[in-house]
C-alpha cells in the first residue's frame, strides 16, 4: 500500500520519457533518420502516383528539355518511380535501407543527405549529357552514389568489399542490356559523383577539416552546374 502523498512525490521525481519517434531525431540517437525519411517520402510519393489520373509522375520526372524552365526536376526525379512495376521502388528502397542505414551512421546525417541529393543530381546531369531525349524516373542515380561512396570509404578504411564491387558492376552492366529499360546514364553519373564525395569524406574526416570538406562539396556541385550550363547554352 502507498499513501497518496508518496505516489504524488514519486510521479514528480520520476524521469519523463518521450516517444521513441521524437528521441530518434536527436543527434546523439545514432538512428538513420535521414534514410528513414527519404524512404518514407519516396513511398508516399509512389502512393500518390498510383492514384488514377494523378499528375505526380508528370510533375516530378526528369526530361532534359525541361531543364531550361524546370531545373528542379533534376532532383525531384529521385522521388518518383515507374508505375508499371512495384519492383522498381522496392529494389531501390531496399538498397537505400541497407546501405543508407550504415553509411549515414558513418558520415553523419547532413553529409549523407548531401551525398544522396548530389548523387541524384549527378545522375540527371549524366542523362542530360548522354541521353538528352530520355524520360527518367527513379532513385537509381542517388542509390548508386550512396553505394559508390560506401565502397570508397570501406576501401579507404582497409576493408575488403570485392563482392560489393561485383554487385555494382553487374547492376551497371544490366543497364546496357536491351529490354531492361534502365538508365545506365543515371547509374554512371551517380556512381562517379558518389565516388568523388566518398573520397572527400574519407580525406577530410578530422573536425578541423570541415571547411575544406564543405568547400569540396561545393566544388562538386559547381562542376555539375557548369556541365549543365555547358550542355544547355554552349552545345544547345
Q: What 3-state class would DSSP assign to 130? A: helix
d(CA 40, CA 109): 16
Point out which residues pair with 217 in neighbouring strands. none
Catalytic site residue from 95, 124, 140, 183: 140
Task: Pick the catalytic residue from 81, 124, 183, 187.
Answer: 187
Query: Is residue 187 annotated as part of the catalytic site, yes or no?
Result: yes
State the burial class of residue 7 (Cβ atoms within 10 Å of its Cβ: 0-12, 13-18, 19+): exposed
Active site residue 82: no
CB proximity list for 174: less than 8 A, separation 6 or greater? 180, 182
Active site residues: 140, 187
Amino acid at each position: 500500500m502507498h499513501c497518496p502523498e508518496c505516489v504524488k512525490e514519486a510521479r514528480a521525481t520520476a524521469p519523463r520519457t518521450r516517444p521513441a519517434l521524437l528521441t530518434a531525431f536527436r543527434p546523439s540517437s545514432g538512428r538513420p533518420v535521414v534514410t528513414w525519411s527519404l524512404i518514407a517520402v519516396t513511398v508516399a510519393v509512389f502512393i500518390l502516383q498510383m492514384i488514377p489520373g494523378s499528375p505526380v509522375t508528370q510533375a516530378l520526372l526528369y526530361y532534359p528539355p525541361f531543364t531550361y524552365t524546370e531545373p528542379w526536376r533534376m532532383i525531384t526525379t529521385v522521388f518518383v518511380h515507374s508505375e508499371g512495376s512495384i519492383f522498381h521502388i522496392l529494389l531501390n528502397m531496399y538498397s537505400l535501407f541497407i546501405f543508407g542505414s550504415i553509411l549515414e551512421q558513418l558520415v553523419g546525417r547532413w553529409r549523407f543527405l548531401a551525398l544522396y541529393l548530389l548523387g541524384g543530381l549527378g545522375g540527371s546531369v549524366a542523362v542530360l549529357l548522354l541521353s538528352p531525349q530520355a524520360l527518367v524516373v527513379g532513385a537509381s542515380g542517388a542509390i548508386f552514389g550512396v553505394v559508390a561512396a560506401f565502397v570508397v570509404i570501406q576501401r579507404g578504411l582497409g576493408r575488403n568489399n570485392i563482392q560489393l564491387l561485383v554487385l555494382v558492376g553487374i547492376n551497371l552492366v544490366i543497364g546496357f542490356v536491351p529490354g531492361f529499360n534502365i538508365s545506365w546514364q543515371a547509374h554512371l553519373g551517380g556512381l562517379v559523383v558518389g565516388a568523388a564525395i566518398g573520397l572527400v569524406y574519407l580525406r577530410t574526416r578530422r573536425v578541423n577539416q570541415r571547411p575544406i570538406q564543405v568547400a569540396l562539396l561545393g566544388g562538386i556541385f559547381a562542376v555539375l552546374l557548369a556541365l549543365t550550363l555547358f550542355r544547355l547554352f554552349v552545345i544547345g
